[in-house]
Structure 1
Amino acid sequence: MRRAPSVAPELPGYEYVSVLGSGGFSDVFLYQQRLPRRRVAVKVLLTEQLNPSTQAQFVDEANLMAQLSTHPYIVTIYHADVAGDGRPYFVMEHCSGPSLAERYKRQKFGVEDALRTGVRLAGAIATAHSAGILHRDIKPANVLTNDFGWPALTDFGISSSLDEELPVQTSTGNHRPAGSESTGTGESQSVGMSVPWSPPEMFEDDPRPDVRSDVFSLAATIHTLLAGQTPFEIHGRSNGTLDLIGRIERGAITPIGRDDVPRSLVAVLAKAMATRRDDRFATAVDFARALQRVELELGYAPTGIDIPTIAGTEHGKPDAPAGDDETRARSVVSIAAQAPAPARAAPATPAAPPAEPDQADATRVRGARVIEPGSAPSGSALARSADAGTPAPGTPSPAKETTVVRPRGSVRAQEPVSAPAAADDAPIENASGRRRLVMIGSIAAAVLLIGAVVAAVTLTGIDNSALTPSASPVPAKPDSVNSAAGVPAPVLEGTATSEDGSQVTFTVSNPSPLDGDVYRWARAETPNQPKLSAVADITVDGVVPGSTVCVDIYLQRTDGKISEANRACNR
């Protein structure tokens, strides 16, 4: 039998309105704040359950919650203090909407709404993890709905140490089925969990949950929203606590049973609810990105992952940041001119090198890789010969460049251009002799040009179509395959910043190119504004000079399948 709620304390600056709910260790009341005037929820801990240790723990948890309160999908804490009667309390945002538990019991969530909710909550949980907080009791009833209709995660930390039940929960039975909000037996009070959404490690004699435990519970919550029941509940069979624990430990997930839920989403949820922690997503951000890929697959705008700026910058960097010299060399990529005419490729050799030779070499090589279609294949090869065949003095050739053979053939194709000049220097006796010499020189140039092209094709083992910009060569790298879609992630080759700092270019390559492949990318802070690029150089405009720029880059096939994101940052 549930106890009656305690008497609401007198709080200066607040007017008592009503009781919102009662838990095992606290009561929650609705108050009207006088200034600024707004309704707030006040959680009051019970004096009979407190001791110096729990009081100190309450203060620590309140401070941690305050650090998380700026997140848009975490319930905000406004104030914490001790009432005149000695009971500690804190003032929270009042979420007037129903909890997710109330919503899914009325109607199952649509796929788009469930995905959006999952990504938003994953960002909230990742933010808590970055502050060193494990929730340990993620479930639909612990996600409220604020006045904007957004999800608001509540009971961080405190639920696992001081309060086992949802503060606003008003009806919890002792013998409810799997959808129950029961938190287990009295022995589990120090752990704080709800069995239907708990991972198997929580049932060990000495539970040691980690971030992957919260990922499991979040995935179980999303499964519940879609299925209208908990993941391990089976209709028509016993769904007691021991039954659920056995199924959770065996990984016997009940199918969602909806035709509109794609297989890719089912696979993502199954991975997040794997029995072995090592088989799950390593972080909440990884889980959120997997949900984003499903959104893209279904044609939805990807939901933003709201995480702290520092955490977002550090997470998922593919490599250590490049040195300043490399950045300056790459910076010219975004403003390099198009490839010169074939006749001028060879004379580029004696040109005076710029102030920094390594920049000139890197720029010429990368500049040729962004040539737009429109020039003849041979012109494309000649442009590459000018880039790779005439490095600046003392500059080593890039280790990743694989088109060394092609420039040699192209340079030889340039040599006949000098033949007419030699003929012009010879004595000319009459007009017919001049025409004869010109004809001979032209024939010789054509023969040598054809021979050079044939030699290049033979040595490189590709046809003329491979010389066009749409099939630019890429270095051989191991595939990073998306297990759900089988699409390799793009590989970051380098970054570049323009001289004025207002543009940043990310150069990527396709490990396994197919016809029609494009790069889908978006800035990390605006993932719902993706763009497509058919070329390997992705330029971000409007950058604040000196700032860190991060983008999520995907490889997209013609059939709509999307790779995992490769997050690239310029620092």
Structure 2
Amino acid sequence: MSSKRPPAPPPEIPGYRFLSVLGSGGFSDVYLYEQDRPRRRVAVKVLLSDLKTDGARRRFESEANLMAQLSTHPYIVTIYEANITAAGHSYLAMEYCSRPSLDVRSRRGRFSVDEALSVGIQVASAVETAHRAGIAHRDIKPANILVTDYNRPALTDFGISGTMDSAPDDDGGMSVPWSPPESFTAGATDGVTVDIWALGATIYTLLAGHSPFVVPGGDNSQRELMARIGSAPLPRLGRADVPEALDLVLATAMSKSPASRYRSAKALARALMRVQADLNLSVTPFEVQEDIVQEEPLADGGFEETRVRSIVAIDPDSQPSAPTFPSAFRTGPHIGQPVQDAPPHINAVPGVSTSTRGSTSGLTQNGSTLPGQLSPPQWADPVRPAAQGQPEGLLASTVRRGGGTPQELQAPAQQSGQPPELARAPGKKRWWLGLGAGAVLAAAVVVGIVVFNTAGAPKPADPEASRTASQAPAVIVGPDVPAVTNLKATAGNGGADWSWSNPDPQPGDFYVWAAVSAVSSGEFKPVATPKIFVTDNAGGQSCISVKLVRKSGSTSPETRKCFP
């Protein structure tokens, strides 16, 4: 805000405590207060006490209502309260943005292309949201874009906002450096195209460090600025990191003719997003509220209601006790290893009990004691060598699948007096059966390969037939932008006056041209009319290249010619 006028003393507002002065402007002063309930810091904008006109008060009340409708947008400042003090001063309590505004930041240093594009798209989404609500801001500039604590831009100061097509009040205002040419004439203006120009001028300011038509070190009075805005071409940014596509986007947004500008803030944002994509930058989301579809609420039967229960006090100094699990879920340091206070469940078979943990000695079955042979860790280890030459892998897998303990496998042989070889016979039989099944499978694979080679592989489907049946018809693309015609020149003072024709004029068309030579091309510059003066090059010729550009950004092939 401007500091030319000292701010008025802060008013007494019930429920708020004054902290400091934030700034003063043409119609109001802004202070930092602390709100009591809820406790937070807020920015309070107070209407000037000596500004008593009906138009000023009407604008202030309109700002409160407009900001209340739009303040849920992430890039618009949130308004908390609108009221009148006991002394009769109208005020707004709104979100406090502690970081420097874009105006302060741009004066300290120019923005990078990446950040300027991102901020431009974010603010464009806020402007589009306002336009969809039928509200035109009419005073977009870097000073009216604050920055939140989370480093997000927030559009504010809707003090001279109004409907889309309205004439300004007799005591209204404007910010000349960011205003389009039609703002300086009498009559109603299109609020959308005014905001498009101002948003383009704001992005230009972030990249240049000054408003578009300010001449550093020159005469920058309001009269001179208004004259340049109305007639002078948009100066190029002159930065090596700014692509030509971005220059064209800004030139379109700030076209002298309102009809040649982007038709919406969304169209401008999409053009900026295309520049981001061309530069391989992260594309910034464009955030506007979509239409909300009303759906019938589903009855939940009260299952999702919040229940009130008693509060349990926990001593923070106490040691947490270990949870108690059923014995079936208690394990040792390693998965599958038994703990020291419970017998391993792998031995818990009917009719068998253990008297010594960690060993099979002392096992009893049907009243008789079995000799201890294998300990539980040996059963569970498939890599450990087999005891007494037994096939350990088969034995361990039988136990893991629930086929019984080793004692169960050996007990029938010991009780019947059979030799150990017969007790192991079922395991050997299964081993031979598995080997035989593998041989049969290998033979089947060999037979299949022979049949495949003899009969041949199935013929592939005709690609043309499948393409005809399944492929969607090609998308029909519209005609290309035609090149300019009738490019001709008339000798002038050290150069030539060039003119050309547009073979298919469309609303919003403009041109870009460059002075060229036989080996190189100059920088393309936008021009609204089909004529330009080009000086002679070192060879005594005036050479030019011209392209036709649609308002959508589509460009025709270039047309080159030299004179004489």
TM-score by length of 1: 0.51
Q: In structure 2, give the amino acid aligned to 1:96.
A: S
In the alignment, which residue of structure 2 is the partner of 1:301?
282
Q: Compared with structure 1, are the counterparts of its residues 376 and 298 closer, same or farther at alpha carbon in structure 2 (3 Å cutoff)?
A: farther
1:239 to 220, 226, 236: 220
- Measured after TM superposition, the shift of residue 2 of structure 1 is 4.2
1:34 to 29, 33, 36: 36
- Measured after TM superposition, the shift of residue 108 of structure 1 is 0.5
Contact 2:47 2:60 in 1 (8 A): no
1:11 to 5, 10, 13: 13
Superposed counterparts of 1:115-514, under 5 Å: 115-156=117-158, 158-159=159-160, 190-310=171-291, 379-384=462-467, 473-479=473-479
Q: Compared with structure 1, are the counterparts of its residues 160 and 192 closer, same or farther at alpha carbon in structure 2 (3 Å cutoff)?
A: farther
CA distance in 2, matches of 1:385, 1:3: 76
- Measured after TM superposition, the shift of residue 20 of structure 1 is 1.2
- Measured after TM superposition, the shift of residue 249 of structure 1 is 1.1
Contact 1:77 1:90 in 2 (8 A): yes
Contact 1:110 1:226 in 2 (8 A): yes
- Measured after TM superposition, the shift of residue 258 of structure 1 is 0.5
- Measured after TM superposition, the shift of residue 479 of structure 1 is 4.1
CA RMSD in angstroms comes to 3.0
- Measured after TM superposition, the shift of residue 236 of structure 1 is 4.3
- Measured after TM superposition, the shift of residue 134 of structure 1 is 1.2
Q: In structure 2, give the amino acid aligned to 1:295.
A: Q
CA distance in 1, matches of 2:161, 2:292: 25
Equivalent residue of 2:12, what SS? coil
Contact 2:55 2:169 in 1 (8 A): no
Q: Compared with structure 1, are the counterparts of its residues 479 and 34 closer, same or farther at alpha carbon in structure 2 (3 Å cutoff)?
A: farther
Q: Compared with structure 1, are the counterparts of its residues 228 and 51 closer, same or farther at alpha carbon in structure 2 (3 Å cutoff)?
A: closer
In the alignment, which residue of structure 2 is the partner of 1:75?
77
Runs of at least 5 residues in structure 1 that lack an aligned partner in the other structure: 162-186, 313-374, 388-468, 484-562, 566-571
Query: In proportion to residue count, which structure has more helix?
Result: 1
Q: In structure 2, give the amino acid aligned to 1:210.
A: G
CA distance in 1, matches of 2:461, 2:150: 60
Q: In structure 1, give the amino acid aligned to 2:464.
A: A
CA distance in 2, matches of 1:69, 1:151: 13
CA distance in 2, matches of 1:68, 1:22: 24
CA distance in 2, matches of 1:196, 1:311: 39
Q: Compared with structure 1, are the counterparts of its residues 381 and 92 closer, same or farther at alpha carbon in structure 2 (3 Å cutoff)?
A: same
CA distance in 1, matches of 2:140, 2:469: 60
Q: Compared with structure 1, are the counterparts of its residues 380 and 302 closer, same or farther at alpha carbon in structure 2 (3 Å cutoff)?
A: same
CA distance in 1, matches of 2:64, 2:100: 24
Contact 2:59 2:160 in 1 (8 A): no
- Measured after TM superposition, the shift of residue 377 of structure 1 is 9.6
Contact 2:63 2:161 in 1 (8 A): no
- Measured after TM superposition, the shift of residue 61 of structure 1 is 2.8
CA distance in 2, matches of 1:386, 1:136: 56
Q: Compared with structure 1, are the counterparts of its residues 189 and 19 closer, same or farther at alpha carbon in structure 2 (3 Å cutoff)?
A: farther
Q: Compared with structure 1, are the counterparts of its residues 101 and 54 closer, same or farther at alpha carbon in structure 2 (3 Å cutoff)?
A: closer
2:67 matched to 1:92? Answer: no
Q: In structure 2, give the amino acid aligned to 1:88.
A: S
Encode CA deviations 1:426-462: one digit per residue, 9 max, x unaligned: xxxxxxxxxxxxxxxxxxxxxxxxxxxxxxxxxxxxx
Q: Compared with structure 1, are the counterparts of its residues 220 and 294 closer, same or farther at alpha carbon in structure 2 (3 Å cutoff)?
A: same
